[in-house]
């Protein structure tokens, strides 16, 4: 197995320049988790108070469900807390488990992705390798996501096949990431779902769990997860020899951060360069890297519409 090429901080920065990116703040990770759940709670409250806004609330909640997965990803790098126990508690119980994931299962999978990024051994390679595709192909994928077909396959059919002892084929881009990231904690996820449904029933708004938790998870969450995966690695060439070409950074407008890419996940090239830099420092790292001659080699897109046009350019 050939590991992906790597950059060293010393290749770009003096020790003084690099020092700010090494420091961590104990309160930021917990605050981000609190923020994610607060946005979800606010969107639920708005949907209950003004049902006409439920479609917008579904998009907001689905994006924050992705936000929980992103913060789980941060915990996989030890970035949610300077204390290992708190990092695991936040990452697993408050981020991973509510969306059906397991931090313990995700961490080795994801670190293998970093070690072999864009190499044949990369477990995420199937997510980006098919691109570019035709516009019709991309449209079909997004329709499957938004109509719940992807959710049904990932969350129902694949677990049932596994329980029956069937060996699934190597996952395709339609379900690989989600099958790993959100398919390894079925028991705790069902318990969480039962408890939250019971809470809404007790509050006299049983329908809220279906309309403002399950529906976002079955529709918007798979769709924005796909957009994230496409934007991060699809159609980026030269990664076999150049660590600055391992991923793409996408400039995200405020509405894209609200509905597609929360918690600085759009700065993926910088994350692959220096994966232990906390997510909230990635915008500053982006500016610092782009200020160096090597930074010109990073793939930077002007927005998610630009990425989708390239991904559907066959």
Give the model's confidence band at 1: pLDDT under 50 very low, under 70 low, under 90 confident, else very high.
low
Where would I find the beta strands (DSSP E) of the chain? 248-250, 299-301
Kindly write down the DSSP assignment for every residue of 165-204, as one continuous string: T--PPPP-TTTHHHHHHSSS-HHHHHHHHHHHHHHHHHTT
- Look at residue 120 in the predicted model and tell me its pLDDT: 86
Residue 3 has pLDDT above 60, yes or no: yes
Cβ proximity of 196 and 188 under 8 Å: no
Residue 259 has pLDDT above 90, yes or no: yes
The 10s digit of each residue's pLDDT in 170-191 is: 444 444 445 545 555 678 888 9
Among the ranges given (42-56, 163-177, 248-262, 265-279), the one the predictor scored with the smallest mean pLDDT: 163-177
- Look at residue 40 in the predicted model and tell me its pLDDT: 98
Question: Bigger pLDDT: 169 or 296?
Answer: 296
- Look at residue 256 in the predicted model and tell me its pLDDT: 97
Start-to-end Cα distance in the chain: 31
Scored b (16 or more CB within 10 A) or e, 155-171 reads: beebeeeeeeeeeeeeb
Q: Which two tokens stand for residue 207?
A: 């329908």
Distance, CA of 184 to CA of 97 (rounded, Å)? 9
- Look at residue 147 in the predicted model and tell me its pLDDT: 97
What share of the chain in percent tops pLDDT 70? 91
Q: What is the pTM of this model?
A: 0.92
Instruction: Give the mean pLDDT of 212-235.
Output: 96
């Amino acid at each position: 197995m050939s590991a992906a090429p790597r950059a060293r901080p010393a290749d770009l920065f003096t020790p003084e320049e690099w020092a700010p990116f090494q420091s961590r703040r104990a309160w930021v990770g917990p605050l981000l988790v609190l923020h994610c759940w607060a946005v979800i709670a606010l969107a639920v409250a708005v949907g209950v108070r003004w049902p006409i806004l439920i479609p917008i609330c579904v998009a907001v909640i689905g994006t924050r469900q992705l936000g929980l997965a992103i913060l789980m990803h941060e915990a996989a790098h030890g970035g949610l807390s300077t204390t290992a126990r708190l990092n695991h508690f936040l990452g697993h119980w408050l981020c991973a488990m509510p969306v059906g994931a397991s931090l313990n299962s995700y961490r080795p999978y994801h670190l293998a992705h970093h070690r072999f990024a864009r190499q044949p051994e990369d477990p995420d390679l199937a997510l980006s390798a098919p691109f570019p595709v035709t516009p019709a192909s991309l449209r079909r994928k997004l329709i499957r996501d938004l109509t719940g077909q992807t959710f049904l396959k990932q969350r129902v059919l694949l677990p049932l096949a596994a329980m029956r002892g069937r060996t699934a084929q190597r996952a395709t881009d339609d379900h690989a990431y989600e099958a790993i990231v959100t398919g390894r904690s079925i028991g705790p996820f069902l318990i969480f779902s039962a408890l939250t449904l019971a809470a809404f029933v007790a509050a006299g708004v049983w329908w809220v769990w279906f309309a403002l938790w399950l529906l976002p998870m079955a529709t918007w969450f798979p769709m924005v997860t796909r957009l994230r995966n496409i934007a991060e690695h699809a159609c980026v060439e030269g990664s076999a020899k150049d660590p600055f070409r391992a991923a793409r950074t996408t400039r995200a407008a405020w509405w894209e951060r609200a509905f597609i890419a929360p918690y600085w996940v759009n700065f993926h090239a910088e994350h692959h360069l220096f994966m232990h830099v906390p997510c909230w420092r990635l915008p500053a790292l982006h500016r610092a890297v782009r200020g160096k001659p090597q930074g010109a080699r990073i793939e930077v897109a002007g927005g998610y519409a630009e990425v989708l046009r390239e991904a559907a350019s066959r």
